[in-house]
């Protein structure tokens, strides 16, 4: 039975494929998107870790920015070292506010004439307004309309994609290249090796069908995408990242280039650089719980330290069962004094306090390609 389309929601160019494959569709960031297919979230999760999963991420925003001063202007907004990037290199970065908070996180790729940015679906309107407010008239912003963007993730992703484009097998992690009309980057959001593929609508539908014909490939929905990124300890905007959280607090200071940490020159630099040397009052942690005690977003975290007894020290930002590990995991923010790996905290789960152990992130080691 094909699920009816939700009214007033945008559709991915691959919507017809999802429905034909029996996907359960849900509203997400203004789109009707597949949360799972008939095999279920756990099976999809394991398949991605063991073989190759194909994710529709066409709801993401894709922008190109060009102009003589594009590097200088973008470096004021993004604390990466963009000036040192050569064509085809990628960086993970964040759009900054003067307060040190984060407007959004993104992937930015250097192109011959400028930059290609992939931004979060839920922040497309805010990001575009932010860029228009901060970039000068000599920097041109081009928004891709209805692109097909799919992520092929897992240990067999390179084997599959190399059947079409042999040289992708040796592409370094966090690089991108054009293959005719197809833009391919070695990147992803699962902690596994993989690729993100950007292509026009008509060609993209046909290419997605070809990828799904491979015996190693299965379609994967948003449910497994989230459980995979949680195991990988990766931030999700609106959960681990927001306009009230700084890169230092989020534990992503590594996204700030060495030159930028020394010279500043980006929005919020004073606060971020001060936190970098003096520390912050809160920080993101990972934690594990005993089976049956899943802590969901918003759950209150308390200290087991007698000096903090009964006091709220933070909250959960993401939590769920780990299909790979077999027990509940989560991330959250706590008072820095309570963030030591190996320590114990108390989390409110369905009205009861559950002891959790603070652990080092990621929960499951990353398997990014190393050449």
Q: What is the pLDDT of residue 239?
A: 98
Residue 371 lies in a domain: no
> Whose structure tokens read 């899943």?
294
Q: What is the pLDDT of residue 349?
A: 94
- 147 and 197 in contact (C-beta within 8 Å)? no
Q: Which residues of 124-145 are buried (b: 16+ CB within 10 A; e: fewer)?
A: beebeebbeeebeeebebeebe
pLDDT at residue 184 greater than cutoff 70: yes
pLDDT at residue 277 greater than cutoff 90: yes
pLDDT at residue 100 greater than cutoff 60: yes
- Residues 30, 175, single domain; the answer is yes
Residue 306 lies in a domain: yes
Write down which residue in 231, 258, 290 finishes a domain.
Answer: 231
What are the C-alpha distances in Å from 326 to residues 158, 165, 203, 204, 329?
A: 28, 37, 40, 36, 9
Which residues are paired to 299 by β-bridges? none
Closest to 303 (Cα-Cα) out of 294, 315, 312 = 312
Mean pLDDT computed over every residue of the chain: 96
pLDDT at residue 331 greater than cutoff 80: yes
- Residues 115, 37, single domain; the answer is no
Structural domain including 32 reads: 10-53+146-231
For the segment 339-371, what is each residue's pLDDT rounded down to a tens digit? 999 999 999 999 899 999 999 999 999 999 998
How far is the C-alpha of 369 from the C-alpha of 114, rounded, in Å? 26
The set of residues, in sequence order, having a beta carbon less than 8 Å from that of 268 and lying 6+ positions away, is 96, 97, 98, 99, 100, 101, 246
- Residues 181, 215, single domain; the answer is yes
pLDDT at residue 117 greater than cutoff 80: yes
Q: What is the pLDDT of residue 8?
A: 87
Q: What is the pLDDT of residue 44?
A: 99
For the segment 136-166, what is each residue's pLDDT rounded down to a tens digit? 878 999 999 999 999 999 999 999 999 999 9
- Residues 32, 113, single domain; the answer is no
Q: What is the pLDDT of residue 148?
A: 98
Neighbour count for residue 168 (Cβ, 10 Å)? 21
Residue 210 lies in a domain: yes
How far is the C-alpha of 129 from the C-alpha of 123, rounded, in Å? 10
DSSP string for residues in 104-148 = EEEEEEE-SSEEEEEE-GGGHHHHHHHHHHHS-TTSEEEEPPS-E
Closest to 233 (Cα-Cα) out of 363, 93, 328 = 363
Residue 370 lies in a domain: no
* Count of structural domains within the chain: 3
- Residues 184, 222, single domain; the answer is yes
- Asked if residue 362 has a cis previous peptide bond (ω within 30° of 0), the answer is yes
- Residues 270, 321, single domain; the answer is yes
* CATH code, domain carrying 343: 2.40.30.110
How far is the C-alpha of 212 from the C-alpha of 219, rounded, in Å? 7
Q: Give the residue-averaged pLDDT of 248-262.
A: 97
- 269 and 248 in contact (C-beta within 8 Å)? no
Task: Give the confidence band of 249 by pLDDT, cuts at 50, 70, 90.
Answer: very high
- Residues 159, 181, single domain; the answer is yes
What end-to-end distance do the CA atoms of the chain give, in Å? 45
Nearest-5° Cα angle at 85, 269 to 195: 105
- Residues 45, 170, single domain; the answer is yes
* CATH code, domain carrying 116: 3.30.70.1400
Q: What is the pLDDT of residue 4?
A: 66
Look up residue 119 and give its two tokens: 């931004």
Q: Give the residue-averaged pLDDT of 177-190.
A: 97
Residue 365 lies in a domain: no
Closest to 295 (Cα-Cα) out of 336, 353, 252 = 353
- Residues 67, 105, single domain; the answer is yes
Task: Give the confidence band of 300 by pLDDT, cuts at 50, 70, 90.
Answer: very high
Residue 325 lies in a domain: yes
pLDDT at residue 2 greater than cutoff 70: no
The pLDDT > 70 percentage for the chain reads 98
How far is the C-alpha of 125 from the C-alpha of 92, rounded, in Å? 20
The set of residues, in sequence order, having a beta carbon less than 8 Å from that of 56 and lying 6+ positions away, is 12, 14, 18, 33, 34, 149, 150, 208, 219
- Residues 154, 224, single domain; the answer is yes
Give the CA-trace dihedral at 9, 28, 242, 293, to 10 degrees: 150
Q: What is the pLDDT of residue 237?
A: 98
* CATH code, domain carrying 162: 3.30.1360.120
What is the reported pTM? Answer: 0.96
Q: What is the pLDDT of residue 7?
A: 72
Element housing 201 (H / E): helix 201-212
Closest to 348 (Cα-Cα) out of 300, 292, 290 = 300
């Amino acid at each position: 039975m094909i699920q009816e389309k939700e009214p007033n929601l945008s559709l991915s160019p691959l919507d017809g494929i999802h429905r034909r494959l029996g996907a359960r569709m849900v509203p997400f960031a203004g789109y009707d998107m597949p949360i799972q297919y008939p095999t279920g979230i756990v099976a999809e999760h394991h398949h991605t870790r063991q073989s190759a999963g194909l994710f529709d991420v066409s709801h993401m925003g894709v922008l190109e920015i060009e102009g003589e001063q594009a590097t200088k202007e973008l470096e004021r907004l993004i604390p990466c070292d963009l000036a040192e990037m050569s064509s085809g290199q990628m960086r993970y970065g964040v759009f900054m506010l003067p307060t040190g908070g984060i407007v959004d996180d993104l992937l930015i790729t250097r192109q011959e004439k400028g930059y290609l940015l992939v931004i979060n679906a839920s922040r497309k309107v805010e990001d575009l307004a932010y860029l228009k407010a901060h970039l000068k008239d000599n920097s041109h912003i081009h928004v891709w309309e209805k692109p097909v963007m799919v992520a092929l993730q897992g240990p067999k992703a390179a084997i599959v994609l190399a059947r079409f484009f042999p040289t992708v097998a040796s592409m370094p992690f966090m690089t991108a290249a054009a293959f005719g009309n197809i833009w391919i980057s070695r990147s992803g959001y699962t902690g596994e090796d993989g690729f993100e593929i950007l292509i026009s609508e008509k060609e993209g539908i046909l290419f997605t069908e070809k990828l799904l014909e491979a015996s190693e490939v299965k379609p994967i929905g948003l449910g497994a995408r989230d459980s995979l990124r949680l195991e990988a300890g990766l931030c999700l905007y609106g959960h681990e990242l927001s306009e009230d959280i700084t890169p230092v607090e989020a534990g992503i200071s590594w996204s700030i280039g060495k030159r930028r940490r020394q010279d500043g020159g980006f929005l919020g630099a004073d606060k971020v650089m001060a936190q970098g040397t003096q520390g912050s009052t809160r920080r993101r942690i990972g934690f594990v719980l005993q089976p049956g005690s899943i802590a969901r977003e918003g759950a209150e975290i308390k200290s087991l330290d007698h000096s903090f007894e009964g006091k709220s020290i933070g909250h959960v930002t993401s939590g769920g069962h780990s299909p790979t590990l077999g027990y509940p995991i989560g991330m959250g923010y706590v008072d820095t004094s309570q963030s030591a790996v190996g320590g114990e905290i108390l989390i409110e789960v369905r009205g009861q306090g559950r002891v959790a152990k603070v652990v080092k992130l990621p929960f499951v080691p990353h398997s990014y390609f190393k050449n």
